[in-house]
């Protein structure tokens, strides 16, 4: 059995140990910096990759936008078509068929009633008292009937059957000369009077 004896002074041993530790620490530092460098290079690569991807996407977008530009004439055509429809819808929104109103009056007028005048006037919507729907104008009929009832009575009943006429009122008088009843009947014109034929722009008949 042999015994190993360290004959070196303790300071020499300590210096060697310190030197190894410095070398180890330096190596660790270099390793850390190398690792960070690798991470940095890798991140730079990722940045370059996404920038290349962006460039490719932007190139494709530019090509698509150029294609859109080739259709500029059709875009203008589409805009003009849209504008023309909008013009009709806004300008002619309050289109009312007076012919239709006259037809309605003729259709419900009793045989023993004769008109001397008829007036139609359209206004901005007016909310009538006791009436849940707005009035968009007024129809006034002036004429003769043989008597109050059934003459004027039947006229009121028949006029009330027309959806566009509402809130019927009347005034009567006696005509001494002919023995007839003179009457004035007024009716509010409801939203049914509007034709709405231009609500979607050009009417079907003109398409």
Give 47 or 171: the residue with its C-beta nearer to another protein: 47
Give 12 or 149: the residue with its C-beta nearer to another protein: 12
Closest distance of CB 90 from another protein, Å: 6
Give 47 or 149: the residue with its C-beta nearer to another protein: 47
Binding residues for another protein, per CB under 8 A?
18, 21-22, 25, 28-29, 32-33, 36, 39-40, 43-44, 46-47, 50-51, 53-54, 57-58, 60-61, 64-65, 67-68, 71, 74-75, 77-78, 80-81, 83-88, 90-92, 94-99, 102-103, 106, 115-122, 137, 195, 197-198, 201-203, 205-207
Give 127 or 206: the residue with its C-beta nearer to another protein: 206
Give 43 or 131: the residue with its C-beta nearer to another protein: 43
CB atoms within 10 A of CB 71: 11
Chain Cα centroid distance, residue 196: 18
HEC sequence for 125-147? EEECCCCCCEEEEEEEEEEEECC
Give 101 or 181: the residue with its C-beta nearer to another protein: 101
**C-alpha dihedral (19, 24, 28, 34), degrees to nearest 10:** 80
Closest distance of CB 2 from another protein, Å: 33
Closest distance of CB 26 from another protein, Å: 9
- Classify burial at 16, counting beta carbons within 10 Å of its beta carbon; exposed 0-12, middle 13-18, buried 19 or more: exposed
Closest distance of CB 153 from another protein, Å: 23
Closest distance of CB 77 from another protein, Å: 6
Residue 114's DSSP bridge partners are 144
């Amino acid at each position: 059995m042999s015994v190993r004896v360290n004959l070196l002074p303790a300071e020499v041993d300590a210096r060697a140990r310190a030197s190894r530790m410095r070398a180890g620490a330096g190596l660790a530092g270099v390793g850390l910096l190398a690792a960070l460098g690798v991470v940095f290079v890798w991140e730079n690569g990722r940045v370059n990759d996404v920038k290349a991807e962006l460039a490719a996407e932007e190139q494709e977008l530019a090509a698509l936008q150029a294609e859109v530009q080739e259709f500029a004439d059709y875009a203008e055509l589409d805009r003009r078509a849209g504008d023309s429809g909008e013009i009709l819808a806004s300008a002619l929104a309050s289109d009312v068929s007076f012919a239709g109103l006259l037809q309605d009056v003729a259709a419900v007028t009793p045989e023993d009633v004769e008109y001397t005048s008829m007036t139609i006037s359209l206004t901005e919507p007016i909310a009538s008292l006791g009436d849940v729907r707005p009035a968009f104008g007024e129809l006034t009929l002036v004429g003769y009937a043989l008597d109050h009832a059934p003459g004027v009575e039947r006229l009121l009943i028949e006029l009330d059957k027309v959806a566009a006429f509402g809130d019927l009122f009347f005034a009567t008088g006696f005509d001494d000369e002919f023995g007839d009843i003179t009457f004035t009947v007024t009716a509010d014109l409801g939203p049914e009077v509007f034709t709405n034929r231009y609500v979607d722009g050009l009417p079907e008949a003109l398409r």
